[in-house]
Structure 1
Amino acid sequence: MIVAVAVLLLAPLTRYIPKASLAGLLLVTAFRLIDFERIRYALRASRYDAGLVLITALSALVIGVEFAILVGVAVSIVLFVPRAAKLKATELFVSPERVVRERLPSDPECTSVAVYDLEGELFFGAALELDRHFETINAQVEARGIRHVVLRLKRVRNPDVVCIEKLEHFLRESQSNGRIILLAGLRPELLAALVKLQFSDWYPPERFFPEEDERYSATLRAVRYAYSLIANANTCAHCAQHSVEPIPVREDDRLYYLV
């Protein structure tokens, strides 16, 4: 309000202010806007942040301050998509101690049940990566003659139609090859999308294991269900020891798996 009143009353007098003094005032004001400690912090954090700072600063000098912000936002989006599209797939292993963990090179290969974990953003940018992981899973289980696969989806986020379609193709192909895929750890948003797309019309609903607040995790329930399907036909020396659960003496003594 003070500036508005000053402009109205003193506007004719501003013509007498030397431009050199206005330039100096602008330089001092701009210098105070620069947070050097914040810039040093961003430059040291990562190459990603350092690149954004340098590109935005150069844009301000070459193009203009008003467009530099838009350039910085656009570049950050372009650089973010490849980073977010990294989808990790890990094979899990049921150890002799009944712990479901990441498989080590020294662990024996199971020939009855395979457990895989997917982690990352399940959006269109990760579609190619998801396809590669599904091809790898198919090749591994086919080479080992496995017909029961547990796919853990607890750590995937923000599913969209592109990746859901990839999942549908994977399930249909596996079903046509006589392979049983159990989807474990389904989050509410992914489960809701599968229901809306009527997956249960062509895929048995008992193969879906949503992540719920229960005593045992969805991964545990899926693994136990896979062993129950194999039953006495389990020829794998490693996992045959897990296929039958001993009758506990007390409820507190029943330790089955740690996932």
Structure 2
Amino acid sequence: MKAFEFKPRMFTALKHYDKKTFTADLMAGIIVGIVALPLAIAFGIASGVSPEKGIITAIVAGFIISVFGGSRVQIGGPTGAFIIIIYGIIQQYGMQGLTIATLMAGVFLILFGLLRLGTIIKYIPYPIVVGFTSGIAVTIFTTQIKDLFGLTIDKMPGDFIEKWIVYIQNLGTTDIWCAIVGILSVVIISITPRFSKKIPGSLIAIIVMTVAALLLKNFAGVATIETIGDRFTINAQLPEAQLPGLTWETIKGLVSPALTIAILGAIESLLSATVADGVIGDRHDSNTELIGQGIANLATPLFGGIPATGAIARTMTNINNGGKTPVAGIVHAIVLVLIFLFLMPLARYIPMACLAGVLVVVSYNMCGWRSFMALMKNPKSDVTVLLITFFLTIIFDLTVAIEVGLIIACLLFMKRMSETTDVKVIMDEIDPNDESDIKLENNEHLIIPDGVEVYEINGPYFFGAGNRFEEIMARFGNRPKVRIIRMRKVPFVDSTGIHNLTNLCTMSQKEGIQIVLSGVNPNVHGVLARSGFYELIGEDNICSHINIALAKAKEIVEQ
């Protein structure tokens, strides 16, 4: 097996770097930095942390993912997918618990990369990805209703259904000015792409609604529009790195949420990188990308940040604006640093209803309802997985949804893989025209002698196949003297297959039936030999092709 090599795309991209490429990266990085600003603030607040922590995450993770990642154009930072799980961890374990869980997730992501799990993670069934992505989108939308309409609710329940009950009960407390700000923000973001592809609608909405809220407050006496400054104290200073207090009990308690962060981050980052590959005609290194994501999630919590991953929307913005190499991601991080240091105090005037409007649009874009409805027309097994994952996400939480979703994925994989193996019985004679391992000088049919049964396994011999083999043999009431098992179309056999084959031979021997194998390929031959299987049936009962096996069977019958 070829040794794994950690090769960040940053270092290979700089080999032939020139002024033209830098100019393209510079312009793309500036635009992506501007796009990332409102999203970082909104994701931070929605996750239950202060707005500057969202920007710090975008800065630190954005820089590290670009430097150490396996994609040329990936942009990293906080994303909507993490909002629900971050909020839940903070509620249960506090900010220090989130810091520890994020550090642990970083370690898990690095291990995923070192163990070469990148290619496996990319093949998690599509219905599961759509199911929990749509579920996250619905949950994000649900959490923004209070701020969007300025509802007066003292304490919000954590349960999805209870939230909507409380919303309905408190509709009468809707603040008309907050509702106007929120709805207009959604409208501005939605129509901006018709007029400008470069300037993000979320930024325009924030500027317009912030100015409008200030004018209403100072000149019209409207004081009910809550802003970021009314809820948070904003610190515009770069924090120093701090290690959290680690205890074994805390680490044990956070293994499950940390794994959820790692798996979700891996899925989202690799999905983003794969989509980017399709647009730019490149091929990312999935294992290097996971290691880069892991390093980012080890670093961001030390500076007070939250979990980060590759962001599809910002990555596509980078591509659409001419980004060529990871330098664009580094520029995006530098732009955010400058904004953070010099403009962050102005963020206190941004209305909460406007940020809710930004997240409503994010949740709509994230929900993928067209993909969801298209999957509803697929086979029942896919629909079942989709709906189970979706409802588990919104009714329980993302940790449960991912754990159950992965279990379902494994069960479906085992079911479908077992269905690829076919076991058939050959009766009376074998037509050499349909065979590849028969060596005859003419086309005479091979006659199966009396007292001999021939079974053929077509496909991998592992879990499920052995049971099917036994079921087929049970249909025949007669007891032969020899059973020939043709394995010419068996590419590999696992320990379960060896166990089943051993049991079959043991049972057959007790009944006075001899097992003869035919057409075993070298790989399978080596596995069976190492397992000690040949000692059970004898080396001379392993035949290279069927006509030798039939001759051997005839000899045994006559004896």
Do Structure 1 and Structure 2 share a fold, with TM-score over 0.5?
yes
Matched, 1:137 2:470: no
* Deviation by residue 1:196-250 (Cα, 9 ceiling, x = unmatched): 12233342213224xxxxxxxx5xx22443235426x78xxxxxxxxxxxxxxxx
- How far off its partner does 1:98 sit? 4.8
User: Which residue of structure 2 aligns with residue 106 of structure 1?
Assistant: none
Matched, 1:222 2:556: no
Q: Which runs of 5+ in 2 are unaligned?
A: 1-332, 436-447
Matched, 1:39 2:380: no
Matched, 1:170 2:470: no
Secondary structure at the counterpart of residue 425 of structure 2: strand
Max Rg structure: 2
The ranges of structure 1 where at least 4 consecutive aligned residues each deviate by more than 6 angstroms after the TM superposition are none
Q: Is the 8 A contact 2:389 2:401 kept in 1?
A: yes
Listed as ranges, the matches of 1:237-252 within 5 Å are: none
- How far off its partner does 1:120 sit? 5.2
* Deviation by residue 1:129-164 (Cα, 9 ceiling, x = unmatched): 624633652662x61x52222112344465332331
**Among residues 391, 401, 410, which one is paired with 1:77 in the alignment?**
410
Considering fraction of residues, name the structure with more strand. 1
Pairwise CA RMSD of aligned residues? Answer: 3.5
User: Which residue of structure 2 aligns with residue 50 of structure 1?
Assistant: 383
Closer/same/farther in 2, CA of residues 153 and 9 from structure 1, 3 Å limit: farther
Secondary structure at the counterpart of residue 45 of structure 1: coil
User: Which residue of structure 2 aligns with residue 112 of structure 1?
Assistant: 451
Partner AA of 1:222 in structure 2: I
- How far off its partner does 1:91 sit? 0.8
CA distance in 1, matches of 2:385, 2:456: 33
Matched, 1:206 2:540: yes
After superposing the two structures, state which structure 1 stretch, 88-97 or 30-39, moved more. Answer: 88-97
User: Which residue of structure 1 aligns with residue 339 of structure 2?
Assistant: 6
Q: Is the 8 A contact 2:484 2:549 kept in 1?
A: no
User: Which residue of structure 2 aligns with residue 91 of structure 1?
Assistant: 425
Closer/same/farther in 2, CA of residues 18 and 43 from structure 1, 3 Å limit: same
* Deviation by residue 1:6-34 (Cα, 9 ceiling, x = unmatched): 33433322221111111111111222233
Secondary structure at the counterpart of residue 174 of structure 1: helix
Closer/same/farther in 2, CA of residues 191 and 40 from structure 1, 3 Å limit: farther
Q: Is the 8 A contact 2:423 2:468 kept in 1?
A: no
Closer/same/farther in 2, CA of residues 76 and 151 from structure 1, 3 Å limit: same
Secondary structure at the counterpart of residue 182 of structure 1: strand
User: Which residue of structure 2 aligns with residue 245 of structure 1?
Assistant: none
Q: Is the 8 A contact 2:460 2:491 kept in 1?
A: yes
Q: Which runs of 5+ in 1 are unaligned?
A: 102-108, 210-217, 235-259
Q: Is the 8 A contact 1:182 1:222 kept in 2?
A: no
- How far off its partner does 1:171 sit? 1.4
Closer/same/farther in 2, CA of residues 203 and 90 from structure 1, 3 Å limit: same
- How far off its partner does 1:179 sit? 2.2
- How far off its partner does 1:192 sit? 1.7
Partner AA of 1:198 in structure 2: G
* Deviation by residue 1:47-72 (Cα, 9 ceiling, x = unmatched): 12112222222233223456644442
Closer/same/farther in 2, CA of residues 205 and 47 from structure 1, 3 Å limit: same
CA distance in 2, matches of 1:138, 1:58: 42
Considering fraction of residues, name the structure with more helix. 2
> How does the TM-score come out when normalised to structure 1?
0.65
After superposing the two structures, state which structure 1 stretch, 48-57 or 184-193, moved more. Answer: 184-193
User: Which residue of structure 1 aligns with residue 481 of structure 2?
Assistant: 147
Closer/same/farther in 2, CA of residues 187 and 98 from structure 1, 3 Å limit: closer
Partner AA of 1:20 in structure 2: A
> How does the TM-score come out when normalised to structure 2?
0.33
Secondary structure at the counterpart of residue 44 of structure 1: coil
User: Which residue of structure 2 aligns with residue 249 of structure 1?
Assistant: none
Identity %: 22
CA distance in 1, matches of 2:377, 2:424: 31
CA distance in 2, matches of 1:131, 1:69: 30
User: Which residue of structure 2 aligns with residue 23 of structure 1?
Assistant: 356
Paired residues, number:
212
CA distance in 1, matches of 2:431, 2:487: 24
CA distance in 2, matches of 1:166, 1:121: 13
CA distance in 2, matches of 1:11, 1:147: 86
Partner AA of 2:470 in structure 1: F
Closer/same/farther in 2, CA of residues 25 and 229 from structure 1, 3 Å limit: closer
CA distance in 2, matches of 1:201, 1:182: 13
**Among residues 143, 147, 161, which one is paired with 2:495 in the alignment?**
161
Listed as ranges, the matches of 1:185-200 within 5 Å are: 185-200=519-534
* Deviation by residue 1:148-201 (Cα, 9 ceiling, x = unmatched): 221123444653323312211221332343322221232444322211122333
